[in-house]
Structure 1
Amino acid sequence: MSTEEKTEEPTPKRREEAREEGQVARSQDLSMAFTLLFSFLLMFFLMEGILRDNIYLMRKFFTDYMTWELTPQNFNSILMEVVVFGIRLIFPIMLIIMVIGVALGIVQVGFLFTPKVIQPELSKLNPISGLKRIFSLRTLVELVKSLLKVSIVGVVAYLTIRAEMESILLLGTMGLGGALQFLGRLIFNVAVRVSLVLIILGIADFAYQKWQHEQDLKMTKQEVKEERKQREGHPEVKKRIKREQQKMAQMRMMEDVPEADVVITNPVHIAVAVKFDIETMEAPIVVAKGKNEVAERIKAKAEEFEIEIVEEKALARALYGSVEIGEEIPTELYQAVAEILAYVYQLNDEGGY
């Protein structure tokens, strides 16, 4: 096993692979805190309607349903009304929980859908791996965070309740309605303050999760090298591909040799095939060139198609070094090439070509 330290920043490929596997920085505490806050705020604004509906349903039970004969039809009617009431009571809270959960997930990690998260992993069933996770540094950090969170929440709740202690001691003198109203307000105050504290802790936890995620994604120098090799290809593979590309380019080049007007040689080491069409070209172009073995093949192809081969050492070297295949002859070499073409055209005219 490699013990090399992970000191390199994660590459885009590493980040993308981690994201596809569901490894992203997010804080469950932050989502829970916002969900708790908005749930209590929603209940606060809907409480009057909820109490009104509860009172209406209770009155109907004691005034209407208690006088009904218990038949299957009447039982179904009562059951349906209770179910509808329960849905009306729970649906707004469930909806706000779902919306807040989705919104917080998008804010933290963006749009992300990956089935790999729900795929079973046999490694999780390994008891040794499980023990390692239980006694890991990360588990200890999570334990400390949980204890700290419980302590802070407990302190906030205690201070809020202690501030109302005098009123709590006078609950017996408030009457039922006043006592319920006071307790509702007290519970709401505690819930909101605890939620705000949890949000602050959640933001801090999210910052920690992002830092921890970056540390987990860091790579060793060897991993960076391996990824670069995979992206760019191993040197042996690249050389093989380059040889194949050169071979294909030479094959295409050799197919253009029969269209040349003349092949200018060194005479042994270099061969350059030149073509010129006065009606379509502004200047002659090099259709093929090569050294040593390739030069021999160009000359053999020229002989096969009865293309004139002219020995001109300096010009052959200049054309080979300064003109790429498919490019026009440069101005400084145009005169020398034009003289050779004129000579070739004269030979062709004399030969009746």
Structure 2
Amino acid sequence: MDTRTHDTSGTLEEALERLHACGPERLGRLSNHAPMVVEALAAHGRADAVHRWLDLYRSKLEDLPAAVAPVTDGDWREALGDPRRAADWIAHFSRALADRPWREVLARWWPRLLPGLYGGSTHPVIRVGHAVRALEAGANGPRLAELAHGLGYWAARYRPVTGLAPLPAAPTAAASLDAVPALPDPRGGFPDRLAALRRLPLWADDVTDPDTARARLAELVRAATHRYATHGHGEPVMLVHAATAPNAVLRTLDSLPRALWVPSLRAAWTASAAVTAMYAPAGPAASAPRARPTAEEVLERALAHGDEHVVKFTDTALDVGDERALAAALRAIELGEPLV
């Protein structure tokens, strides 16, 4: 059952305004997940829980960092990928969104930012995906500001992946994820492991048609979500991004020109496959038979658990909507550390 609903209570706007005084990260490297979680809760009819959840999460929030210098149309390339410029980038996109329609701004910047989708552990594109879903449900000031924050975070954490040796891919997304070789010596955090990545299957490189790209992207999201049920124990937090990052791209497609759908699929595949390689477990876990809760029950369990990654992965599992996806969400709840 589809649990999504259009929240008209104003709670999402209140939460976003509360959060826009905060920076996109804390401790210089850990992402601020709150804007994504509150949008997911509001989208699935739980706006009533938004402020309570935020109160629990507020110790993980830091103030917006200080500005350095304005980003301009003439020097934006020099500021790309500089995390010190996060506030500058947010201000740049705030000005752009005040002057032009949000879909126009998104279409202009998406191809510029897409090659650097991998920075910030893919959180910036995930934040943009949540912002776009909120705007598609109804545009207003706080939702436009959230898109500015998401795009600004992406520009500040822009990081491309280059020099990967291509490997043969299987016909399906699931089989191609199975074919991703594990990083031989996984050490350090996301940036270190990303830098050590050398080869991936090129599952999406044969796609040239936008409609095929959409179908393949949906297939990838479904396969990565299902896979978490048996492989999430490799790294319960980081492996959710193998599904949530491509899903952020998928939920943005309809707001983009069709010409951008194929490169979006390729970037999303690389992100999902990279995370799969970087945090692969030694082997799959047995998938034990489970009770069959409803989508609403799974959402309530995720909310009671409270962990930001669990809530966001459950949001993606609800988008997929089938029994295996709901089982994967339950697995995330089992593996994750509760917020409180």
TM-score calculated relative to the size of structure 1:
0.18
TM-score calculated relative to the size of structure 2:
0.18
More helix by share: 1
Larger Rg, first or second structure (1 or 2): 1
